[in-house]
Structure 1
Amino acid sequence: MGDRPGAECRWRAGVPAVSEAAEFAVGFIGLGNMGAPMAHRLTDWPGGLVVCDMRPDAVQPFIDAGAKAAETPAELAENCRVVSIVVLDDAQVRTVIAGPDGLLRTAKPGTVLAVHSTISDRTAAELAAECATRGVEFVDAPISGGAPAAQRGALAIMVGGSATAFEAVREPFGRFGSLVIHAGEVGAGTRMKLARNLLHFVAFTAAAEAQRLAEASGLDLAALGKVVRHSDSHTGGPGAIMLRKTTAPVEPDDFWFPILGHVRDLGEKDLSLALDLASRLNIDLPLAQRALHDLGDGLGVGPGPLAKEHS
C-alpha cells in the first residue's frame, strides 16, 4: 500500500481484541516515506500496533519492533479501534477503505478510520457517508511538517470529523504530532491542509522570483537562502500575520489597525524598492507587483500611498 495502488498487505498475526478501554489496538496502513516514521512512533502503543503494507521489507522492521502485521486491510480492521491510512491518492484510499479486501469488510461499529493522505474533500465526504452506514467513523486528518517532523513526533495534524472521533484519535495522533487540531466536520481537515499548502507553494514561487532578482544583482543565492531561513526562524514567516479570526476589513479604531497598517507600510516600501531595482535590471517580478497592489487589502487595512502610486 505504501506507493502503488491495488496492493495487498503481507503477513498475518493475531492481535488483541477491540476494546472500549484505553488500551485499544491501533492499525497503520502504508509504510512509505511518511507512513513509516509515523508508525514507528506507535510501536510502543499500549494496546498494540498492527501494520499493513504490500512490501515485506517495509513491514519487517515493525515486526522486529514488536508490532503485529496483517495481510489485508480487512484483516487489520478486525481488531483495531483506530486505523491510520497513509497511501498515495484518492483511488488508493478508496481501495483501502471500501475495496474487496477493504477496512469496511470487517470494521466494527465505533472504529475510526483516519486518512492522512491529502485527498479531495469531496472524496472525504463520500467515504464518511459510506462508513456511516456501517456505524464506522471517518476522519480526514492530513499532516504538515514532512518526514523530519514525523520522526520527531512534531507533525501538525488537521482533523475533520465528529467530536467523538476526534477524542478517539487525539492520543494516538499525539505520538507523531505535536499539534493536533480539530478543524471541524469531515472535509475540514483537508480544506485546512489545502489552504496551508496554498501558502506553501505560492511562497516557493515567490522565493524563485526573489532568487531571480538576487541573481541578476550578482548576489550569492546560497547566502540569501541562509538569511531567509534565519530570519523566518525568528519572525515566523507568513504565519506571523495569521492572527485574526476574519479576513474582513479592519476598522480604524480596531486594535489591529495600527499594527497591520505598519506592516503594510513597510511591505509597500520594500516592494517598491525591489520593483525599482528589478526595473533597472530588466527583471520581471509579477508576484511582487501583485503583492504591492494587494498587500493592504489582504491585511484588511486598505492600500497605502505607495500602492496607489503604482496602480
Structure 2
Amino acid sequence: MRIGFIGAGRMGAPMVRRLVGAGHEVRALGRSGDARRRVTELGADPVSFTAAVGTEAAAVVVCVFTDDQVRAVCLDTPLLASMPGGSVLIVHTTGSPRTAEDLATQAATRDIRVVDAPVSGGPPDIDAGTLTLFVGGTEDAVTRARPVLECYGGPVLPVGPVGSGQRVKLVNNALFAAQLGLITEAVRLATRLGIDEATLLSALQHASGASRAAATVAAKGSVTAFNASVGEFIRKDVAAVRALAAELGATMGTLDSAISAQFPDTERKS
C-alpha cells in the first residue's frame, strides 16, 4: 500500500519505520534537508510538499503536535485535493473533536474517508506494535485505516463516529492527569511522614495503590523527572479537555481539582 505521512517526529518516526518494515511504500514530508535525510534513514521516500504526500496514496497519516497544526496541514494546503477518491485520512494528533468533524465534512466532498485515531502510549509501544488507538469514524473508514493502524497499534479500538476517538482520548488523559495529581499529593504526604519519594514509588508498585500512572512516574524516578519528560504533552491535552468541557457545558468536578495538584500552571477552562 502507498501511504503518505506528515509528522515523522518523536512519535511519527517509529510509526514510519514500522510501516516500511511491514512492506508499505511510504512517502513522508520533510521540509528541510535534515528532515528529508531523517526520512530516508527510516526507509521512506522524502517529499517536500504536502501535495506529494497525498498523490496516489491509499492512506495519509497526520501525526503533528497541535490541533492548529492539523488544521493548517489538512485545510490550508493542497493535501485533500491531492488525495484520490476512496483513500483515508488518519489523524493521530490529540485535539478537538470539532477538527476531526470539520475534516470529515471537507473530505467527504472528495470521497475521502477520515478517522481520528489519537494514541495512548509512547515510542517503545510503537516499536513493539502495542500502541493503543482510540479510533473514531464510520465502519468503512475504520476498515480502510486498519491495515495501517495495525502496523504499530494494538489494540485498535473503534469507539464511535468521527470525533469519538478524540473524546475518549481526552477523557482518558483527564483521568491520567488527575491520577498524576493524586500521586503528587501522595509524595508530599510521604515526605512529611519521613518517607523519601523513590522508596514510596517503588513500594506502591506492589500494593493496592499501584496504577499505570504511578508506574510511569516511578520509571522516571520522580514527579519532577516525569514532568520534565512528558509534562508538555500532558499540559496540551489538559488544556484541550478543559476547552472541550467548557464548549459542551460539561463540568470536570474533582478531576479538575486533582489535575491542578500536578499542573497548577495549566489554564482552567471549566
Q: TM-score normalised by the shorter chain: which range applies? A: 0.7 to 0.9
Does 1:37 find its partner at 2:35? no
Match of 2:120 in 1: 144
State how far apart, in whole Å, the 2-side matches of 1:56 and 1:76 are.
17
Verify the 8 A CA contact 1:72 1:102 in the aligned structure 2.
no
Higher RCO (CA 8 Å, separation ≥ 6 residues): 2
Residue aligning to 2:245:
none
CA contact (8 A) 2:2 2:57 kept: yes
State whether residues 117 and 166 of structure 2, in contact with CA within 8 Å, keep that contact through their aligned partners in structure 1.
yes
Pick from 181, 205, 216: which aligns with 2:192? Answer: 216
Query: Does residue 106 of structure 1 match 2:77?
Result: no
Cα deviation for residue 56 of structure 1 reads: 3.0
3-state SS of 2:154 partner:
strand
SS of the residue 2:20 aligns to: coil
Please list the CA deviations of residues 1-60 of structure 1 after superposition, one character each: whole Å capped at 9, or x if unmatched.
Answer: xxxxxxxxxxxxxxxxxxxxxxx2111110111111121111134341111133433332
AA in 2 matched with 1:29: I
2:8 touches 2:39 (CA, 8 Å); kept in 1? no
Equivalent position SS for 1:42: helix
CA distance in 2, matches of 1:55, 1:159: 31
Query: What CA RMSD, in Å, does the superposition of the two structures yield over aligned residues?
Result: 2.2
List structure 1 segments (4+ residues) > 6 angstroms apart after TM superposition.
none
Give the match's secondary structure for 1:158. strand
Query: Aligned partners of 2:17 and 2:205: how far apart in 1?
Result: 29
Q: Does residue 202 of structure 2 align to residue 226 of structure 1?
A: yes
1:203 aligned residue: 179
Gaps of 5+ in 1: 1-23, 239-286, 292-311
Change (3 A) 1:123 1:86: same
Q: Given the alignment of the two structures, is residue 71 of structure 1 paired with residue 48 of structure 2, yes or no?
A: yes
Deviation of 1:78 after TM superposition, in Å, equals 0.6
Instruction: Provide the rounded CA distance (Å) in 2 between the counterparts of 1:43 and 1:209.
Output: 44
Within 2, Cα distance between the matches of 1:124 and 1:182? 15
Normalising by structure 1, report the TM-score. 0.65
C-alpha contact (below 8 Å) 1:95/1:102 kept by paired residues: no
- Answer whether contact 2:62 2:92 (CA < 8 A) is retained: yes
Give me the whole-angstrom Cα distance separating, in 2, the residues matched to 1:166 and 1:180: 10
Query: 8 Å contact 2:28–2:47 — kept in the other structure?
Result: yes
2:19 is paired with a residue whose SS is coil
Identity %, equivalent residues: 36
Alignment-derived partner of residue 232 in structure 2: none
Whether 2:94 is the aligned partner of 1:118: answer yes
Within a 5 Å distance, the mapping from 1:1-311 to structure 2 comes to 24-99=1-76, 101-231=77-207
In the TM superposition, residue 103 of structure 1 has moved relative to its aligned partner by 1.2
CA shift at 1:70, angstroms? Answer: 1.8
Q: 1:229 to 1:39 in 2, by over 3 A?
A: farther
Q: Does the aligned pair in 1 maintain the 2:100–2:163 contact within 8 Å?
A: yes
Cα separation, 2, equivalents of 1:232 and 1:85: 39
Does the 8 Å contact 1:38/1:153 carry over to 2?
no
* Cα gap change, 1:89 to 1:64, in 2 (>3 Å): closer
Give the aligned residue type for 1:211.
V
Alignment partners' CA distance in 2, 1:228 and 1:102 = 51
Q: Distance in 2 between matches of 1:237 and 1:33?
A: 22
Distance 1:202 1:55, change over 3 A: farther
The one-letter amino acid paired with 2:85 is P
Q: Give the aligned residue type for 2:47.
A: A
SS, match of residue 54 in structure 1: coil
| CA radius of gyration, larger in | 1
